Structure 1
Amino acid sequence: MLAAAAVSQSTSDPLSGLLVGEQPEPEARGDWVIVDVVAASLNHHDVWSLKGVGLPADRLPMILGCDAAGTDPDGNEVLVHAVIPSPGWLGDETLDPRRTLLSELLPGTLAQRVAVPAANLVPKPAGLSWEQAACLPTAWLTAYRMLFTNAAVHPGDTVLVQGAAGGVATALIQLGSAAGLRVWATSRDGAKRDLALTLGADAAYETGARLPERVDAVLETVGAATWSHSVNALRPGGTIVISGATSGDAPAKAELTKIFFKQLRVIGSTMGTRDELGRLARFVVAKGIEPRIDSVLALADAREGFAKLADGAVSGKIVIHA
């Protein structure tokens, strides 16, 4: 079957290890099923895998991809939840220390077919297109958990989204706006600030700019480059929720004094549960949200999408049709 796989790794030239070509068919075992993939989408996780982060070289070749929507063996339209808990784990699968994601230990979703546990399938609401559905299981699920599980914000609260155009950032803006939050966003790029406003942000500022008032929560995916600004932007008792560090995880200042003096909460957030994915899908349909899609490509042309993602030239999600 046709798939996009990592066959080698390079920190300086990650796309050199990407092969779009034939890979072995998946095998169902036990309570696993084969899903015929209709649409998938790209995440920074895929580029990190090509750089050798989180994917040991001894697991290559590895089919990439975490997001997918397709049909199960009975013809049902489904979303694929990418978090695979260890055998016997009960409760929140994101807290399982032995959890894995599709494309880390097991072949991923950037393929015509993928094997997944039957318990990882979520019904696709009829109101979601295949392209919209393919956006949800990673970036949008991450944003949903950041906002509604970990930031614990309420309608009328003000949240700051660091970054304005990536998959998680655009999801945060659209979800937050739909939930009645006052959403502010930052970016160095004027066009991306304009994009944030069109997606529902109430204001967009230059990265690091002084804000007109303190915010209730900061949604942080940038990391080192924006960390001090995130701490300084919070009201006393406010919350930073961090789910990534695309600019690095070693800020020049940890800001520990401000964190304890202002009694700030710093909460890590990773992906989301299967139940949260189901709630997210229903919320998107109920609110009429149309996930921001940068481009739609055929699987045979996936390299083009990887190149855009690696260059940071993306506004929203890149969807791949299998």
Structure 2
Amino acid sequence: MLAAYAVAADAENPLNALEVGEIDPPSTPDGWVPVRMKAGSINHHDVFSLKGVGLPADRLPMILGCDGVGIAPDGTECVLHTVIASPGFTGDDETLDPKRSLLSEIYPGTLAEVVHVPQENLIPKPAGLTTTHAAVLSTSWLTAYRMLFTNARVSKGDTVLVQGAGGGVATAAVQLGSAAGLKMWVTSRDEAKARRALELGADQVFASGERLPGRVDAVIETVGAATWSHSIKSLRPGGTVVIAGATSGDAPDKAELTRIFFLQMRIQGSTMGTRQELKEMLDFLVEHNVEPAIDSVRPLAEAKDAFAKMIDGDVFGKLVVTMD
């Protein structure tokens, strides 16, 4: 079957570690069901995998992809929940399972013509969502939803700062927060991305590191070291920084510990989301008529071009690949 998969680890040139071509279907656990994929999208997680982060050599080749929508054996079009709990886990929040994984880490991912998943990880796609929009929701959008509505502790009318305007989590947070009645402020180094953030519902856009006109109730932080001090300095006393990534590195020049404890700020880690949160988000998108920002759409055979665009950083919204 046709798939996009990692064949090596190359931290300097991750595109060299990617193959797009025919591959024998890998083995998956007994009882998992086949899904004929219609579309998926690319995340930074896939690029990290190509660099060897979290994907050791003994798991190669590995089909990439953490997002997707496809047809279940009964003919239902479903959004895939790609957080896989470990065998025997009994909690109701699979993101807290220390041995959880995402598709493409231990088990084959979604950038293929067919993928196998547990039956309970298939969420019927609402009729109000297009296949293209549904294909981008399982990772960055679910991450943004959990960051805002589970972990940020904000209410309608509160102000939220989103660091970085173009990434998948950032654009999702802007669209979700705006639809929920939050005041969304965004930082960006790129004027074109800043304008697009305003089009998506951001109330104001500021230059990276710019002093804000007021303190915010929460910060959505996925950039890491480059924006950490600005995030802390922008937060009101008692506010919350929700961090779900560190694309610029995880070692800021200054940790801001004195400011954090003196002003009683809350630092909340956040990773992906639960099946229930995915279901809630699908309903939210339909109810509020939210259409996820799409950068571009390509067939799976041209996935390498989409990966190149992600690696170059020339992205606003999601990069979609189709299997039909």
Aligned to 1:71: 71
Q: Report if the CA contact (8 A) 1:26-1:114 is conserved.
A: no
Aligned to 1:106: 107
Are 1:22 and 2:22 an aligned pair?
yes
Q: Report if the CA contact (8 A) 1:43-1:65 is conserved.
A: yes
Q: Report if the CA contact (8 A) 1:231-1:259 is conserved.
A: yes
**Counterparts of 2:231 and 2:250, CA distance in 1:** 14
**Counterparts of 2:25 and 2:73, CA distance in 1:** 15
Cα distance per residue 1:283-319 (max 9 Å; x no partner): 0111000100000000000000000000110000000
Aligned to 2:306: 305
Is the deviation greater in 276-285 or in 22-31? 22-31
Q: Report if the CA contact (8 A) 1:28-1:34 is conserved.
A: no
Q: How does 1:282-293 map to 2 (within 5 A)?
A: 282-293=283-294
Cα distance per residue 1:7-57 (max 9 Å; x no partner): 011111000010000111255643310000000000000000000101111
Deviation at 1:88, TM superposition (A): 1.8
**Counterparts of 2:34 and 2:196, CA distance in 1:** 38
Cα distance per residue 1:218-251 (max 9 Å; x no partner): 0000000000000000000000000000000000
Aligned length: 322
Is the deviation greater in 204-213 or in 27-36? 27-36
Q: How does 1:1-322 map to 2 (within 5 A)?
A: 1-27=1-27, 29-90=29-90, 91-322=92-323
Q: Report if the CA contact (8 A) 1:158-1:216 is conserved.
A: yes
* Off by >6 Å, runs of 4+ in structure 1: none
Q: Report if the CA contact (8 A) 1:27-1:34 is conserved.
A: no
**Counterparts of 1:188 and 1:170, CA distance in 2:** 15
Is the deviation greater in 24-33 or in 143-152? 24-33
**Counterparts of 2:287 and 2:278, CA distance in 1:** 14
Gaps (5+ residues) in structure 2?
Answer: none
**Counterparts of 1:124 and 1:34, CA distance in 2:** 17
Q: Report if the CA contact (8 A) 1:223-1:246 is conserved.
A: yes
Task: Please report the TM-score for the alignment, with normalisation by the length of structure 1.
Answer: 0.99
Q: Report if the CA contact (8 A) 1:26-1:115 is conserved.
A: no
Amino acid of the residue matched to residue 59 of structure 1? R
**Counterparts of 2:28 and 2:76, CA distance in 1:** 17
Gaps (5+ residues) in structure 1?
Answer: none
SS in 2 for 1:67: coil
Amino acid of the residue matched to residue 55 of structure 1? L
**Counterparts of 1:196 and 1:263, CA distance in 2:** 30
Deviation at 1:282, TM superposition (A): 0.8
**Counterparts of 2:199 and 2:161, CA distance in 1:** 16
Q: Report if the CA contact (8 A) 1:37-1:68 is conserved.
A: yes
**Sequence identity percentage:** 65
SS in 2 for 1:127: coil
Cα distance per residue 1:46-73 (max 9 Å; x no partner): 0000001011111110000000101100
Task: Please report the TM-score for the alignment, with normalisation by the length of structure 2.
Answer: 0.98
Amino acid of the residue matched to residue 214 of structure 1? R
Q: Report if the CA contact (8 A) 2:28-2:107 is conserved.
A: no
Deviation at 1:89, TM superposition (A): 1.0
**Counterparts of 1:275 and 1:255, CA distance in 2:** 35
SS in 2 for 1:319: strand
Q: Report if the CA contact (8 A) 1:42-1:306 is conserved.
A: yes
Alignment RMSD (CA, Å): 0.8
Amino acid of the residue matched to residue 69 of structure 1? V
**Counterparts of 2:115 and 2:165, CA distance in 1:** 32
**Counterparts of 2:190 and 2:21, CA distance in 1:** 36
**Counterparts of 1:20 and 1:207, CA distance in 2:** 36
Amino acid of the residue matched to residue 279 of structure 1? E
**Counterparts of 2:252 and 2:39, CA distance in 1:** 37
**Counterparts of 2:31 and 2:159, CA distance in 1:** 44
**Counterparts of 2:157 and 2:149, CA distance in 1:** 14
**Counterparts of 1:32 and 1:124, CA distance in 2:** 19
Amino acid of the residue matched to residue 78 of structure 1? C
